[in-house]
Amino acid sequence: MELGNPRMWVFYYLICFVALLWVGFLTAQRVMIFVSLFLTFIVLGFSVILCAMMMVELKNEKSTDPGEERRVEQ
C-alpha cells in the first residue's frame, strides 16, 4: 500500500469524517452508545496504525537514501 498517495488520504479522511458524524448523531439521540464507542475506537485505531506505518515507511526511505553517504562524507 502506497501511503504517499493523496487519493488514499482523501478517501480515508472522508470515511473517518462520515463515521464520526454518525457517532455524533447516535450519541445525540442517546441510542446505540456502544456502537458509537466502537466506531470511535475503530477510527482512532486505524489512525494510529496508519501513523505508525507512515513513520516506518519514512524511516525506511531515510535509511535507503543513496545520497546520504555522500552528504555525510562531504
Q: Quick check: helix, strand or coil at residue 2?
A: coil
pTM of the model: 0.72
Domain coordinates in residue numbering, the chain:
6-62
Q: Is the pLDDT of residue 55 over 80?
A: yes
C-alpha cell of 52? 505508525
Q: Quick check: helix, strand or coil at residue 44?
A: helix
Residue-averaged pLDDT of the chain = 85
CA-based R_g, the chain, Å = 19
Cα 71 from chain centre:
32
State the Cα angle at 3 between 17 and 66, rounded to 5°: 155
Confidence at 5, pLDDT banded by 50, 70, 90: confident
Average the pLDDT over 44-71 and give the result: 82
